[in-house]
Amino acid sequence: MSSIIQLLPDHVANQIAAGEVVQRPASVVKELLENAVDAKATDIKLIIKDAGKSLVQVIDNGLGMSVTDARLCFERHATSKIRQAEDLFSLHTKGFRGEALASIAAIAHVEMKTKQDQEELGHNIVIEGSKFVSQELAVLPKGTSFAIKNLFFNIPARRNFLKSDIVEHRHIVDEFQRVALAHPNIYFTFYHNGSELFNLPPSNSRQRIVNIFSGKTNEKLVPVQEITEIVSIQGFVSKPEFAKKSRGEQFFFVNNRYIKSGYLHHAIMAAYEGLLKDGCQPSYFLYLDVPPHTIDINIHPTKTEIKFDDEHALYAILRSSIKHSLGQFNVAPVLDFDRDANLDTPYEYKNKDASFPTIQVDGNYNPFSDEKPSKPSYSSSDNFRTKRSETASWESLYVGLKNDTETLVENTEIHFESEEVTASLFDDSDIEKVVNKTYQIHKKYIVNPIKSGMVIVDQQRAHQRVLYEQFLANMTIQQAASQQLLFPLNLFFSKNELELISELKIALANTGFVFEAEAEDHIVISGIPVNVTESEVSLVLEQLLSDLQEGIPENSFSQNDSIAKSMAKSLAVKTGTYLTEKEQENLVNGLFACKDPNVSPFQKPTFITMRVEDLDKKFSI
- Give, in degrees to the nearest 5, the angle at Cα 373 between 371 and 376: 150
Is it the case that residue 555 has pLDDT exceeding 90?
A: no
Calculate the average pLDDT of the chain: 79
Beta carbons of 26 and 172 less than 8 angstroms apart: yes
Q: Measured in Å, how far apart are the chain's first and last C-alpha atoms? A: 75
pLDDT score recorded for residue 86: 52
**Residue 185 DSSP SS3:** coil
pLDDT of 322 over the 50 cut: yes
Confidence class for position 44, pLDDT limits 50, 70, 90: very high
Q: What percent of the chain has pLDDT over 90?
A: 22
**CATH number 3.30.230.10 is the correct assignment for the domain at 205-328:** yes
In CATH terms, 10-200 corresponds, of 3.30.565.10, 3.10.20.740, 3.20.20.370, 3.20.20.70, to 3.30.565.10
Residue 566 has a pLDDT of 86
C-alpha torsion 603→604→607→613, nearest 10 = 110
pLDDT at 343 over 70: no
State mean pLDDT over 423-437: 46
Mean pLDDT calculated for residue range 130-140: 88
Of 63-77, 301-315, 550-564, which gets the smallest average pLDDT? 550-564
Domain ranges of the chain: 10-200, 205-328, 441-609
| CATH, domain range 441-609 | 3.30.1370.100
Query: Does residue 409 have a pLDDT over 60?
Result: no
**Structure confidence at residue 339 as a pLDDT band (50, 70, 90):** low
**Which strands sit side by side in the sheet containing 439-441, from one edge to the other?**
439-441, 445-450, 453-458, 607-611
- Measure the CA–CA gap between 487 and 214, rounded to whole angstroms: 23
- For 494-518, write each residue's pLDDT tens digit: 777 787 888 788 888 888 888 887 7
Higher pLDDT, 407 or 255: 255
107 vs 394, residue with greater confidence: 107
**What is the average per-residue pLDDT within 537-543?**
84
Please report the pLDDT score of residue 77 as a whole number: 64
What's the confidence (pLDDT) of residue 267?
Answer: 92
- DSSP letters for 56-88: EEEEE-S----HHHHHHTTSTT--SS-SSGGGG
pLDDT interval class at 388 (50, 70, 90):
very low
% of the chain with per-residue pLDDT over 70: 77
CA distance 564 to 569: 9
**Residue count of the chain:** 621
Q: What are 442-455's pLDDT values in tens digits?
A: 889 999 888 888 89
Q: Is the pLDDT at 162 greater than 80, yes or no? A: yes
DSSP 519-584: -SSEEEEEEEETT--GGGHHHHHHHHHHHTTT---SSHHHHHHHHHHHHHHHHSPPTT----HHHH
Strand partners, 257: 254
Q: Rounded mean pLDDT of 379-389?
A: 45
Overall average pLDDT of the 329-354 stretch: 61
Query: What is the average pLDDT across 52-60?
Result: 92
- DSSP track, 348-372: GGTTPPPPPPP----TT--TT-S--
Band the pLDDT of 387: cuts 50, 70, 90: very low
Mean pLDDT (whole number) for 17-43: 85
Q: What pLDDT score was predicted for residue 180?
A: 94
Mean pLDDT for 284-307 is 77
Going by their DSSP bridges, the two strands 482-492 and 307-308 should be labelled as: unpaired
pLDDT at 436: 58
Q: Is the pLDDT of residue 337 over 70?
A: no
Consecutive H or E run containing 315: helix 311-328
For residue 293, the model assigns a pLDDT of: 80
What values do phi and psi take at 138, rounded to 5?
A: -155, 155
pTM score of the predicted model: 0.70
Backbone dihedral angles phi then psi of residue 516, each to the nearest 5 degrees:
-85, -40
pLDDT at 219: 86
pLDDT for residue 332: 57
CA 85 from chain centre, in angstroms, equals 42
Give the mean model confidence (pLDDT) for residues 286-310. 77
Tens of pLDDT, residue by residue over 215-260, are: 678 888 999 999 988 889 999 999 888 888 777 788 999 988 888 8
Side chain identity, residue 139: V
Inter-residue contact 109 to 151 (CB < 8 Å): no
Which of the given ranges, 12-21, 42-51, 288-297, has the highest pLDDT on average? Answer: 42-51
